[in-house]
Amino acid sequence: MTQAPSASTAVSLTRYLIEEQRAGRISPDLRLLIEVVARACKTISIAVGKGALGGVLGDAGTGNIQGEAQKKLDVLSNEILLEANAWGGHLAGLASEEMDTSHPIPDVYPRGNYLLLFDPLDGSSNIDVNISVGTIFSVLRCPDGVTQAQDQHFLQPGTEQVCAGYTTYGPSTMLVLTIGNGTHAFTLDREVGSFVLTTRDMKIPEETKEFAVNMSNQRYWQAPMQAYVGDLLAGKEGPRGKDFNMRWVASMVADVHRILTRGGIFSYPLDAKCAAQGGKLRLMYEANPMSFLVEQAGGAASTGRQRMLEVQPTGLHMRVPVFLGSKHEVETAVRYHAEHDAQA
């Protein structure tokens, strides 16, 4: 049973970031960036929380580069993040799931040394049925000498991230963050309006009995995924020798938050429907930030054939197959792929 932090022991996000800056682990500009993103997420939380009363449910009537119909809250969340990050002087550019190309900082404002990428409202297909959704963000350094970032400047592997996080808009609004010094969870105190550190140094159990996958795609999976999940389903009578449970929220932030909290493996593998695009989930603002958070919590993240954070991006909206979560379970899924490829 976790004890609620008292007023005297509560560590706010601001205090945590000041202490990390004092320790030399983040710069003043990166501290400002994180505070600005957190503040924007509070605004998004209020809009999401209004539900039908806010007049922002349903489709926007527009589509994005992903070929997905945008929800009104997708567009609103994107605008909130763009506006919040325009004037601070900490960014050289932004990129979003909802925008075809990267977004320049207006000339009227100073520019900084960071690049911010985000999925403003991940899982938004769940918004109209009141299931948790979230904001995912990733921070890279802008290459030296570049002041007005172009798309190609964002194309850095996940190991280059200096910060990653998500905010999950669930029963409580939680910000989960890493600056490369562990993964930490902050809960929004709505009465005060600040994020409060509620779990320092999250750790994912290395073993698990829970997997997250969209089973309706099973007939489209490649052979190693068929074999891997088939053995999970065989349970204790099968080669794994134990029974497994399954969860699939269809909101990556919600599924990953559960795994960071109690373990598990999340997978969106290649299937015959998405193989031509390289996968379903996007590398730069879904897989990479989540993989950084998971690795910092002692977990593992892979495409099934390569460490996720070492994938060299070829485009802002590049898609990848994803396996992430409990270290030993991800290693097992990777081993099924390696053994299949060796025989092939």
Residue 122 touches ligand P6P, criterion: CB under 6 A: yes
Question: From the CB of 97, what's the least distance to ligand P6P, in Å?
Answer: 9
Q: What does the H/E/C string look like for the chain? A: CCCCCCCCCCCEHHHHHHHHHHCCCCCHHHHHHHHHHHHHHHHHHHHHHHHHHHCCCCEEEEECCCCCEEEHHHHHHHHHHHHHCCCCCCEEEEEECCCCCCECCCCCCCCCCEEEEEEEEECHHHHHHCCCEEEEEEEEECCCCCCCCCHHHHCCCHHHCCEEEEEEECCCEEEEEECCCCEEEEEEECCCCEEEEEECCCCCCCCCCEEECCHHHHHHECHHHHHHHHHHHHHHHCCCCCCCEECCCCCHHHHHHHHHHHCCEEEECCECCCHHHCCCEEHHHHHHHHHHHHHHCCCEEECCCCEHHHCCCCCCCCEECEEEECHHHHHHHHHHHHHHHHHC
Which residues inside 275-304 make contact with ligand P6P, applying CB under 6 A? 281
For position 70 contacting ligand P6P by CB under 6 A, the verdict is no
> Which among 42, 28, 65 is positioned nearest to 317, based on CA atoms?
65
252 near ligand P6P (CB under 6 A)? yes
Tell me the angle at which helices 252-262 and 288-296 cross, rounded to the nearest 10 degrees: 10
- The nearest distance, CB 107 to ligand P6P, in angstroms, is 33
CB 167 to ligand P6P: min, Å: 14
Minimum separation from the CB atom of position 122 to ligand P6P (A): 5
Nearest to 291 by CA among 276, 302, 304: 302
User: Smaller CB distance to ligand P6P: residue 162 or 253?
Assistant: 253
Pairing mode, if any, of strands 265-268 and 133-141?
unpaired
Toward ligand P6P, which CB reaches closer, 112 or 325?
325
Instruction: Specify the stretch interacting with ligand P6P by CB under 6 A; choose among 23-31, 118-126, 290-298, 324-332.
Output: 118-126
Residue 321 binds to ligand P6P (criterion: CB under 6 A):
no
Q: Of these, 130, 147, 181, 214, which contacts ligand P6P (CB under 6 A)? A: 214
Q: Considering beta carbons, is residue 68 or 83 the nearer one to ligand P6P?
A: 68
Per CB under 6 A, the list member of 65, 250, 272, 338 interacting with ligand P6P is 250
Minimum distance of ligand P6P from residue 214's CB (angstroms)? 4
Minimal CB distance to ligand P6P: which residue? Answer: 252
Residue with Cβ nearer ligand P6P (70 or 326): 70
Nearer to ligand P6P, 134 or 263 (CB): 134
Minimum distance from residue 104 beta carbon to ligand P6P (Å) = 26
User: Which tokens sit at 166?
Assistant: 């998500």
Q: Which of 12, 125, 218, 332 binds ligand P6P (CB under 6 A)?
A: 125
User: Least distance (Å) from ligand P6P to the CB of residue 74?
Assistant: 10
Backbone angles phi, psi at 186, to 5 degrees: -120, 135
Q: Does 251 bind ligand P6P (CB under 6 A)?
A: yes
Q: How far is the CB of 21 from ligand P6P (least distance, A)?
A: 32
Q: Which stretch binds ligand P6P (CB under 6 A): 76-84, 142-150, 154-162, 246-254?
A: 246-254
Q: Side chain identity at 344, as an amino acid letter? A: A
Rule CB under 6 A: is residue 265 a binding residue for ligand P6P?
no
Give me the least distance between CB of 324 and ligand P6P, in Å please. 11
The residues of the shown chain that bind ligand P6P, judged by CB under 6 A, are: 122-123, 125, 214, 250-252, 281
